[in-house]
Structure 1
Amino acid sequence: MVFWFPLLFWLAALVVAILMLARGPRPITLAAIVAQLLRWILVFPAGLMGLWAFSGHVFVPDQVAASIGWAPSPFQFEVGMANLGIGMAALIGAFLGSPGFRAAVGVMMLGFLGGAGVGHLIQIGETGNMAAGNAGPILYTDFATPLAVLGLLLIQRLLGPVPKA
């Protein structure tokens, strides 16, 4: 089941963004699409996924380690705390954050999650670790989520003032 969570959080972000656009003002502009996608990516794959990862690494570390193909480690607590920070910051950024705050969240996610993604690739290459928590959807979302946040922020900056979302 752990395998599906990254995909489900991304699906939720896309569905909610589409629903918000469908019930929003017309015409639907590129700026509105970007604003909704950014908000709901910050909520689901960044915010709630971060809180979910925190809870797993801190409260059920043996299960999480097994899903990644690792032995349990005291470092999982630290990974969990980093995920807690990312999750809380992403949720704040979704509703209260300025573009600069959101960019800081995106940079932190790129450093931590992107680094984790590189670690997954190293594990695959060096040990053949194809466990679902190492080579499954989390591998792709570790790169996709921060890149989506930063890419959408760049598009938003190029489009001009941020519409109310």
Structure 2
Amino acid sequence: MVFWFPLLAWAAALLIAFYMLARGPRPITAGRVVDQLLRYILVFPVGLMGLWGFTGHVFFAEQAAASIGWAPSPFQFEVGMANLGIGLAGIIGAFLPSPGFRAAVGVMMAGFLGGAGVGHLVQIGETGNMAAGNAGPILYTDFLTPLAVLGLLLVQRFLVRSPAT
């Protein structure tokens, strides 16, 4: 599941965002596309992935550590709590369309997940750790997810300033 969950979260976000656009009002504007993508990225790759990381690191610490290629550690509880905060903030941000709150979620994710992604790369380089939880899709989503949130917020900001949307 460690391999598939990040991919499924992203697939769900994209499918539901486009489904909501397809059944929503016309015309479909760039602003609505960005808003729907942002909302469902916050729900799935941010919110549910955060809650999934929390559950794994706190309640299934040995299995989570093994999937990353690590030994279990008391620090997993702290990682789990950080994931809980990110997950809850993502879900709140999905339904509280405050650009400032969403930006704060993106910055928090960039720091935590971006740092985790760098840690995965270091582990690959130094130890050759190619475990699914270290070198699989989670490695890519550690960078992709915060960049997507922050990038969409930036696009949204420019669209708000543009009278054509």
- TM surpasses 0.5: yes
- TM-score, length basis structure 1: 0.96
1:47 is matched with: 47
Number of residue pairs aligned between Structure 1 and Structure 2: 161
SS of the residue corresponding to residue 47 of structure 1 reads: helix
1:104 is matched with: 104
Deviation at 1:97, TM superposition (A): 4.0
Deviation at 1:27, TM superposition (A): 1.1
2:85 is matched with: 85
CA distance in 2, matches of 1:152, 1:97: 13
CA distance in 1, matches of 2:145, 2:133: 16
Q: Residues 133, 82 of structure 1: CA spacing in aligned structure 2 closer, same or farther, 3 A cutoff?
A: same
Q: Does 1:122 align with 2:129?
A: no
Report Cα offsets for 1:8-41 as digits up to 9, x if no partner: 0000000000100000111111111000000000
Q: Does 1:149 align with 2:152?
A: no
Deviation at 1:96, TM superposition (A): 1.4
CA distance in 1, matches of 2:115, 2:157: 26
CA distance in 2, matches of 1:65, 1:2: 11
CA distance in 2, matches of 1:122, 1:64: 19
Consecutive unaligned residues in structure 2, runs of 5 or more: none
Which range moved further: 35-44 or 23-32? 23-32
CA distance in 2, matches of 1:134, 1:72: 14
1:73 is matched with: 73
Q: Does 1:158 align with 2:138?
A: no
Report Cα offsets for 1:62-114 as digits up to 9, x if no partner: 00000000000000000000000000011101001410000000000000000
CA distance in 1, matches of 2:114, 2:86: 13
RMSD: 0.7
Q: Which runs of 4+ in 1 moved over 2 A?
A: none
1:138 is matched with: 138
For 1:112, the aligned partner's letter is F
CA distance in 2, matches of 1:4, 1:89: 23
CA distance in 2, matches of 1:2, 1:130: 13
For 1:98, the aligned partner's letter is S
2:17 is matched with: 17
Q: Does 1:58 align with 2:58?
A: yes
CA distance in 2, matches of 1:53, 1:132: 14
Q: Does 1:31 align with 2:31?
A: yes
CA distance in 1, matches of 2:146, 2:5: 17
Report Cα offsets for 1:113-132 as digits up to 9, x if no partner: 00000000000000000000
CA distance in 2, matches of 1:69, 1:153: 34
- TM-score, length basis structure 2: 0.96
